[in-house]
Amino acid sequence: MTGSALPDRTGVLDRLRREGIDFVQLEFTDIPGAQKSVTIPASRIEMSLDHGVWFDGSAVEGLARVAEHDLYLRPDLSTFARVPWVERPSARIICDLEFPDGRPFLADPRRALKRVVAETAELGFTYRAACELEFSIFGGSGTPLAPIDSGGYFEETTAQAEELCREACRALVALGIDVEMSHHEVAPGQHEVDLAVMDALTLADAIVALKTSLRTYGRRRGLLVSFMPKPIEGTSGSGLHVQQELRTRNGTDAFFAADDPYQLSESGRRFIAGQLAHARGLCAVIAPLVNSYKRLMGGAEAPGHVSWARTNRGSYIRVPSISPGGGMRIELRAPDPSCNPYLALAAMLAVGIDGIRNALTLPEPVEELGRPTARGPVDQDAAELLPRTLDEALEGLEWDPVVRGALGQEIYERFLAAKEQEWEAHSAHVSQWELRTYLERA
């Protein structure tokens, strides 16, 4: 939450009474990234602050849900806000997860990000990020649903889609979240909302709120808002491009160096090298669906290789020549909006910091296919491929101790179990493509 003073206990209780708020949503996310919540009467808020609120912790495991176990929601008062998309006065507080005896629940995605951010701070760095969240809007009642418009990049859209995006942006501003812009993207029915740079935890909270608001306002209009990475074959997929900043304790831009051809400092080069070195293990976290790998095949400005550049929008990492506010930003283009933002930001920060810690060497950039760099031509095809399937990405994750460490063993085991179930179900499914291709001629 941005703005002036953060709310304290007295301020929260006063606001509940003053604004007639009679219910409070206590929110958390499960490991796959779905938002979950319990709703309590406002009259019970003091009890929840003192003792927490019990819930069945197996809900955190998502698709890998196995057995019930007792957990408590511990409200984080700094996240208190009025919920704009609920008509009757209602509030939300994002919660941390604990055992009944007060010990932290280590399979809490939000806590995982807090831990990696704290470890980064101990090294003398502050991590901030902005993002561009792409999504698709579908309308009608047919099967499959039709995109709400046929517009292209920055083109006008339907009044329904325009007002949906504006309403979601208004809701985020009401929550204290800095929204930069919204616009139509490349594919039919595809739109984008850009969030300004903020600390990593606030950004993850904001992404969850943005997805919730878009879905909620979409349903009210009879529209489906989808964060599926590749919902329509043959068109551009939806990404979650993350622009990253790193500052030293005295506020200096840790990525910037005026005398470098790319204006990258030694730390900036090593940070990128870390994200490149761990790309295959990182993919399982930032592109976590079977469908994610229909997008990560290269083309349509989506990355397919482990490469970096300034102008090549098909690269895995891009270093823009101009960043808002004049700071140096490193843009990771492989994440998609289906990821859990807490786990994605934790993992991408951890592997970047690993590059700094271990002084990893940055390879040559790949600006365009076959285009020469300062040291000669580099062919995009010579760069290592990103995983082509979720199964490949999970294998990369199993072999990557840094990404696993960012998640923590408790999250890693549950995440892997859920994703292996997803891959097995996909592998056993007989698709319409298989029937069309093989049924008569096999």
Tens-place pLDDT, residues 295-315:
998 766 789 899 999 877 778
On the question of pLDDT at 157 being above 90, the answer is no
CA–CA–CA angle 97, 5, 33 (5° rounding): 30
Is the pLDDT at 67 greater than 80, yes or no? no
144-153, 312-321, 397-406 — which one is most confidently predicted on average? Answer: 397-406
Q: Which pLDDT does position 143 carry in this prediction?
A: 64
Choose the weakest-confidence range: 106-115, 261-270, 292-301, 352-361.
292-301
CA distances from 75 to 78, 85, 284 (A): 9, 21, 30
Q: Residue 158: its pLDDT value, please? A: 77
Kindly state the average pLDDT of the residues 147-172: 82
d(CA 128, CA 345): 10
pTM of the model: 0.92
Residue 371 pLDDT: 46
Q: What is the CATH architecture assignment of 9-105?
A: Roll (3.10)
Q: Residue 8 — pLDDT band, cuts 50, 70, 90?
A: confident
Q: Is the pLDDT of residue 194 over 80?
A: yes
- Angstrom distances, CA of residue 120 to CA of 2, 31, 327, 346: 22, 22, 19, 10
Three-class DSSP category at 176? coil
CB 48 within 8 A of CB 12: no
Could you tell me the residue ranges of all domains in the chain? 9-105, 114-427
Regarding the domain delimited by 114-427, which CATH topology (the fold level of the hierarchy) does it fall under? Creatine Kinase; Chain A, domain 2 (3.30.590)
What pLDDT does residue 58 have?
73
* Percentage of residues in the chain having pLDDT higher than 70: 89
pLDDT of residue 60: 77
Residue 7 — pLDDT band, cuts 50, 70, 90?
confident
| CB neighbour class for 235 (10 Å; exposed up to 12, middle 13-18, buried from 19) | middle
Of the candidates 239, 219, 217, 224, the residue with the CA atom closest to the CA atom of residue 148: 224
Q: What is the pLDDT of residues 201-234, one digit of tens each?
A: 999 999 999 999 999 999 999 999 999 999 988 8
Say which residue, 19 or 241, is predicted with more confidence: 241
5: tokens are 């003073």
- The model's confidence at residue 350, banded by pLDDT at 50, 70 and 90, is very high
Give me the pLDDT at residue 152, please.
61
Nearest residue to 112 (alpha-carbon basis) of 404, 416, 401? 404
CA distances from 369 to 279, 308, 365, 419 (A): 20, 12, 11, 34
Q: What is the pLDDT of residue 228?
A: 95
Burial of 183 (C-beta count, 10 Å sphere; 0-12/13-18/19+): middle
pLDDT in tens, 351-393: 999 999 999 999 999 876 544 444 444 455 556 889 999 999 9
pLDDT at 352: 98
| Residue 244, CA atoms < 13 Å, CB-side half-sphere | 30
Strand partners, 191: 135, 184
pLDDT bucket at 2, cuts 50 / 70 / 90: very low
The mean predicted confidence, pLDDT, of the chain is 88
Residue 108 has pLDDT above 50, yes or no: yes
Q: Which two tokens stand for residue 99?
A: 């055992």
The pLDDT of residue 442 is: 86
- pLDDT reported for residue 193: 95
Residue 382: other Cβ atoms inside 10 A:
12
324 confidence band (pLDDT: 50, 70, 90): low
The single-letter code of the amino acid at 338 is S
* The token pair that represents 143 in the structure block: 């099967």
What does the pLDDT average to over 3-15?
A: 75
Summarised one tens digit per residue, pLDDT across range 119-134 is 999 999 999 999 999 9
Across residues 129-158, what is the average pLDDT?
A: 79
Banded model confidence at residue 282, pLDDT cuts 50, 70, 90: very high
> Residue 372 is inside which H or E element, if any?
strand 372-373
Place of tokens 């997805």: 211
Band (426; pLDDT cuts 50, 70, 90): very high
